[in-house]
Amino acid sequence: MALISRVIDIPVFLHIDEDCVEKIGDILSEANLSFDKMLLLSGNTTYNVAGQRVVDILKGLGKTVDVIKISDSTIETAEKVRSSIKHSNYDVVIGVGGGKVIDVGKYAGAAEEINFISIPTTVANDGISSPVSVITYGREKRSIITKMPLGVIADLSIIKNAPIRTIRAGIGDLLSNISAVKDWELARKIKGDKFDEFAALLSRGAAESILTSDSDNIQEEEFLKNLVGSLSLSGISMGIAGSSKPCSGAEHKFSHALDTIAGGPALHGEQAGLGLILTTYLRGDDWKRIILIFKKWGIPTTAIELNISKGDVIKALVYALEIRPDRYTILEHIGIDKEKALDAAERTGAI
Ligand SMILES: [Zn+2]
């Protein structure tokens, strides 16, 4: 019998360092990659922060670079970018920006079978190096399986100067892996859901490395390196699982419900972080530990800090049952209702 093993999809290169964007030419040649006609996707602000610099460097290397700036990650925008790729012969798409730029770039690149390079300017969520794109359809956000980026260049000089709120949100999104893996284990036990131990280990381990960090300054280089690396591992765990399950359970259903009910009042990672506190309480686990860690790093632990009304917290917890109904979580398990939602929100001090 042939020797059997699994092949795991990971980016060809990952660079997490100060000023590494400056070395993009060397990074590509070290990886034996050569592109001539590039599409650079960026946001209006992020273009000024980093996009323009990347264009200048690449043009200095003799490359042709077209630029598209986007301001949202709706399906209409994503399809427009896809159409531009279709009608030009780009050999790579480079996304320089926050989550929306990376999501649209991965989506459009994968749809047209063009490689995508991720250059995040913030670390607000785990999409940096994952094969999942979050695309907005009306008021609903859908996670779509796309393709793992060809490579990731995370320039810490850019990331550390992004609003500190984005770093806090990234921590919230990462720590929510703990809740997501618990839900996945529950779904295996109760529903016989297909479970992947490697994906679960990677996702939980990534969250633990930040959970156990004793750093006081989340903007310092060492902490950010750990955070970007851990978010990248989260992305790879989704690649191994072939779904967002290792990083998205009840706390993410709560966040998606908030998007639908209240139009996404806060950053994804902030909403998932609040969801983590609530679902940890509902599970009967140590939610106070999560609050202590969040407070140490200034991560919001209450609805009011996130501009969410008390009523919307309760509504979203119950409405979360309507989000991805096929994904069994603690919410389905305990039969969440208005009364249980109110108890969790009040006891944890979320409202
Ligand atoms: Zn997330």
Domains, the chain, ranges and CATH? 13-159 (3.40.50.1970), 164-347 (1.20.1090.10)
Query: Which residue ranges in the chain fall short of pLDDT 50?
Result: none
**Cα 228 from Cα 126, distance rounded (Å):** 9
- Asked whether the beta carbons of 285 and 306 are under 8 A apart, the reply is no
Tell me how far the alpha carbon of residue 102 lies from the centroid of ligand 1, in angstroms. Answer: 14
Ligand 1 centroid to residue 70 C-alpha, Å: 21
**Alpha carbon of 36 to ligand 1 centroid (Å):** 34
CA of 267 to the centre of ligand 1 (A): 10
Two tokens at 301?
Answer: 């632990």
Q: Are 341 and 262 in contact (CB under 8 A)?
A: no
User: Widest CA span of the chain, in angstroms?
Assistant: 63
Question: How many residues does this entry show for the chain?
Answer: 351
| pLDDT tens column, 70-91 | 999 999 999 999 999 999 999 9
pLDDT at 1: 84
**What is the model's pLDDT at position 13?**
97
Backbone dihedral region for residue 284 (phi beyond 0: left; psi -120 to 50: alpha; all else: beta)? left
258 CA distance to ligand 1 centroid (A)? 13
Tell how far the Cα of 40 is from the centroid of ligand 1, in angstroms.
24
In angstroms, the Cα distances linking 270 to 10, 151, 277, 300, 306 are 27, 26, 11, 7, 8
Give the 3-state secondary structure of residue 20. Answer: helix
Q: What is the Å distance from ligand 1's center to 176 Cα?
A: 8
Q: Residue for token digits 């709120």?
A: 165
Q: Which two tokens stand for residue 285?
A: 């686990």
Ligand 1 mean position, distance from CA 60 (Å): 36
pLDDT given at position 264: 85
- Distance of CA 144 from the midpoint of ligand 1 (Å): 13
pLDDT score, position 81: 98
Instruction: Decide: 324 and 264 in contact? Cβ < 8 Å.
Output: no
The predicted pLDDT at position 242 comes to 92
Q: How many beta carbons lie within 10 A of that of residue 226, not counting itself? A: 17
Q: What is the pLDDT of residues 249-289, one digit of tens each?
A: 999 999 999 999 998 889 999 999 999 999 999 999 999 99
- Whether residue 172 contacts residue 272, with contact meaning beta carbons closer than 8 Å, is answered with yes
Question: Looking at residue 336, what is its pLDDT?
Answer: 98
Q: Which residue has the tokens 């279709």?
A: 86
Residues with CB under 5 Å of ion ligand 1 are: 173
pTM: 0.95
pLDDT at position 139: 84
Distance (Å) of CA 150 to CA 4, 67, 298 = 25, 19, 34
pLDDT tens sequence across 227-259:
999 999 999 999 999 999 999 999 999 999 999
Instruction: Say how many Å lie between the CA of residue 20 and the centre of ligand 1.
Output: 26
**Cβ(7)–Cβ(240) under 8 Å?**
no
Ligand 1 centroid from CA 243, angstroms: 12
Measured in angstroms, how far is the CA atom of residue 56 from the centroid of ligand 1?
A: 32
Distance 3 CA to ligand 1 centre (A): 36
